[in-house]
Structure 1
Amino acid sequence: MSYIEKNKEAWEEAFDNRINGWGDAVVENLQASSAYYIQPALQAELDQLNLAGKHVAQFCCSNGRELLSISRHYGAVGTGFDIAENLIAQGKMHAKQLHVPCSFSAMNILDIGSEYHQKFDVILFTIGAITWFQDVNALFRVVSDCLKPKGIMLIHDFHPLMNMLPLPGEDCYCDDVVRLLEHKYFTAEPWIENNGMGYISGDYASKTFTSFSHSISELVNSTIQSGMSVRLLNEYDYDIGLSDVYDAMGLPLSMLLMAEKV
């Protein structure tokens, strides 16, 4: 069984073990505020793209809450892809309840077929998506194939430097000392975890999650090699999903990359 197939099992198990009704409030939250699930830095760039009537795809969309938010807020058509079938099922249910033009497909992103080639104006990755792929070149080639000419890829994610920082709960974490070199920046070794997906399920003895570190240069070079040109690369001194313990310390903790298909 490949690491991707094992990740599918682990994600579906995590959703089945979700705590505190994770995901249940998506419809209510978006009815109250259409931009509820759009991070401010990402929203600032989306605001410039005139998305009304445009086709936006999100790769690794989880339960689709960010894509639903974008569709509802900007009047865009949405297509979401994720490997976990139960997460996708929740996205489909919420799209129907919200009456937004979003569709969702459960599949391995690397297996997206030619029926989606040159279909999307924007393809989006958000926090914690790219880390699930060992080969970024292969991933970005799929992105380039699926974008229309002049289409936009947007990545809003944690900064690769975050992989070097010990986080609360790790044995090496110390709350009064910033220890940058606890983990390697350049490494081909995967992260192997068997304690659930905390923000969804809390900690438990879970099936295996396998993820990978990618440097800024790897992301930029893979973008260029896949037939896209980098238009924007921003770095921010705050985290957008892992932990806020290093915020405002002068460290790059999150990033936004925008590229255009050549």
Structure 2
Amino acid sequence: MQSSNYWLDICNLAAVFDQQSIPYQFIEETALMIQGVPVKLEEVAIEVQWDLVESVHGLFTPYGPTPIERTKDIGSFHFEMEGTSVRVKCVYNKAIRTDPFRIQLERDGLHYWCQSLYTKRRNPRYEEVINQHLYDLQMRMTEQNQVAWNQNNYQALINRYGAPEEVADKIKQHPEGRLGSFYRYMEPVDGKKIAHLMGSNGIKGIALSLLGADVTVVDFSQENAAFAVEVAGAAGVNIQYEVSDVLSFKGEGSEDLYDFVLMELGVLHYFINLEPLVRVIHRLLKPGGQLVLHEFHPISTKLITSKGKKHKVSGNYFDPMIENRQVAFSKYSSERESEKAQVLQRKWTLGELITAVADIGLVVKTLDEEPNQKVHDIGIPKLFTLVAQKPS
């Protein structure tokens, strides 16, 4: 097949299924190609709703499709369309619309349903090319996110928290109170070495430093760093602030160095592949050291929306889409600046997270799910803390 035919044929096929209201998704190499993975395409592969396969077969009668071949689980047929080999299959008793990894992508104003590349990421046939694609995309995302987080974020921090001297005074009054529920998995921190990855404005790192810890904050925002250094100075403590994206952090002597690696509140969604992140965490931890990850619960961020007493399942918990979002500080910026502050995000399930942590060899010690504290949201998880240890 020539690449010039790919999109024309895919577009035509998608149009047929959409016009006939037939649930479908492109699969295998076809789905990977649609998502930008550089694979060689020998045929266009499509999965359709199983109880409509005979109707689909009839739609393509002008192209001389082969008879439907049936096994216990699968039905399939082939045909040639304008020189392109097309394979249509169905999986019996599978509802296409409820496939959690079925995603819709847009290209040149047209939409295509396909199976997410994450379903093939552990397949030995595709693992290397998919991981390379994700790495390249992550680097582009990091560049975009870095631009967003360096657009007058210093002023947004001042607008939100106040002058550095004021912030320092508040932290000094009660440093433990700045750390939240995850601190009980770290205390006492006196004399401990802590790496706070994506440590943002440095407030948590400064609180830990006031409690006696030796803290390194890693974050790619120069403006976060400027604010953090000023607050630390006003608080009378020293923190090491490394301006770097986490995956590129190569601090001198940083291997097997830290008692704790801390990550908290709204950080995981900046990674479209968790494996490189957990490799960095594993490298930074001492034998016996622990990852403490305090995050928003995916039930609240991916599945349920709440408004007063009303709760609605409005999302797909398994949704693997990469989305454009405004950065967290945008509401504290001017309207003109907030319009520019866009970042890419991918939200993860607890299962995906635990699997990534376990695969790298960290031992899960705690998974603490915390309920929402709002009266009308009782029973809905809001946060979780994961503690995982590097074996001694």
TM-score range, shorter chain: 0.7 to 0.9
Moved more, 20-29 or 84-93: 20-29
- Deviation at residue 211 of structure 1 after TM alignment: 1.1
Deviation readout 1:186-209 (Å, 9 max, x if unpaired): 122112124763464376312321
* One-letter amino acid matched to 1:36: G
- Deviation at residue 76 of structure 1 after TM alignment: 0.7
| Cα distance change, pair 104–114 in 1 and its aligned pair in 2 (3 A) | closer
Aligned pair 1:51/2:189, yes or no? yes
| Contact 1:232-1:259 at 8 Å conserved across structures | yes
- Of structures 1 and 2, the larger Rg is shown by 2
| Contact 2:309-2:376 at 8 Å conserved across structures | no
Structure 1 SS opposite 2:242: strand
Please, what TM-score do these two structures have when normalized by structure 2?
0.59
Aligned pair 1:4/2:4, yes or no? no
Identity rate, percent? 22
2:362 maps to 228
Paired with 2:255 and 2:350, the residues of 1 have a C-alpha distance of: 27
Higher RCO (CA 8 Å, separation ≥ 6 residues): 1
Larger fraction in helix: 2
Larger fraction in strand: 2
2:99 maps to none
2:250 maps to 113
- Deviation at residue 44 of structure 1 after TM alignment: 2.0
Structure 1 SS opposite 2:159: coil
Structure 2 SS opposite 1:22: helix
Structure 1 SS opposite 2:156: coil
| Contact 1:155-1:256 at 8 Å conserved across structures | yes
Q: 2:267 aligns with which of 114, 129, 147?
A: 129
- Deviation at residue 131 of structure 1 after TM alignment: 1.3
Q: For 1:179-198, list aligned pairs within 5 A.
A: 179-180=312-313, 182-194=314-326, 197-198=329-330
Please, what TM-score do these two structures have when normalized by structure 1?
0.86
List gaps (5 residues or longer) in structure 2: 1-138
Deviation readout 1:84-126 (Å, 9 max, x if unpaired): 1110121122222222231101101000116311111100011
Paired with 1:154 and 1:54, the residues of 2 have a C-alpha distance of: 14
Deviation readout 1:119-150 (Å, 9 max, x if unpaired): 11100011001111111111011000011111
Q: For 1:172-183, list aligned pairs within 5 A.
A: 174-180=307-313, 182-183=314-315
List gaps (5 residues or longer) in structure 1: 168-172
1:170 maps to none
* One-letter amino acid matched to 1:255: F
Deviation readout 1:21-80 (Å, 9 max, x if unpaired): 3343321211222223111x2122222xx321110110000011011111212x111000
Superposition RMSD in Å: 2.3
Structure 2 SS opposite 1:3: helix
* One-letter amino acid matched to 2:386: L
Paired with 2:243 and 2:299, the residues of 1 have a C-alpha distance of: 31
Aligned pair 1:69/2:202, yes or no? no
Paired with 2:312 and 2:208, the residues of 1 have a C-alpha distance of: 37
